[in-house]
Structure 1
Amino acid sequence: MLADPFVLLLAGHYAGDYLFQSDHMSEHKAEKSLTGWLANGAHAACHIGVTLVLLLSARALIGLDISATGTCAALAWVGLSHGLIDRRWIVERWMRHTGSTVYFESGRGAPMVDQALHIVAGITPAALLLTALH
Structure 2
Amino acid sequence: MADVFVLLYMAHLLADYPLQTDRLAGRKAGWTEGPEDPHPGRHHHGWGANLIHAGTHVLVCGIALLVGVVALGADISPAGAALALAWIGGTHSLIDRRLPITWWLEHTGQREFLRHGGAAHVDQAAHLLVLLAAATALTA
The reply to whether TM is greater than 0.5 is yes
What amino acid is the match of 1:41? Answer: L
- For structure 1, list consecutive stretches of 5 or more residues without a partner in the other structure: none
Residues matched between the structures, number:
128
User: Pairwise CA RMSD of aligned residues?
Assistant: 1.1
Cα shift at 1:124: 1.5
Structure 1 residue ranges (4+ consecutive) displaced by more than 2 angstroms after TM superposition: none
Cα shift at 1:36: 0.6
> How far apart are the structure 1 equivalents of 2:63 and 2:18?
14
Which residue, out of 115, 121, 128, partners 1:119? 128
Q: TM-score, normalised by structure 1?
A: 0.90
- For structure 2, list consecutive stretches of 5 or more residues without a partner in the other structure: 31-42
- 1:13 and 2:12 correspond: yes
- 1:83 and 2:93 correspond: yes
Residue by residue, what CA displacement relative to the aligned partner does 1:30-86 show, whole Å, maximum 9, x if unpaired? 1122x5111000000000001111111221122121110110111010000100000
What amino acid is the match of 1:131? Answer: T
> How far apart are the structure 1 equivalents of 2:68 and 2:114?
38
Tell whether the 8 Å contact from 2:4 to 2:68 is kept in structure 1 after alignment.
Answer: no
Identity %: 44
> How far apart are the structure 1 equivalents of 2:134 and 2:24?
23
Cα shift at 1:89: 1.3
Q: Name the counterpart of 2:62.
A: 52
Q: Name the counterpart of 2:80.
A: 70
Cα shift at 1:111: 0.8
DSSP 3-state at the match of 1:70: helix
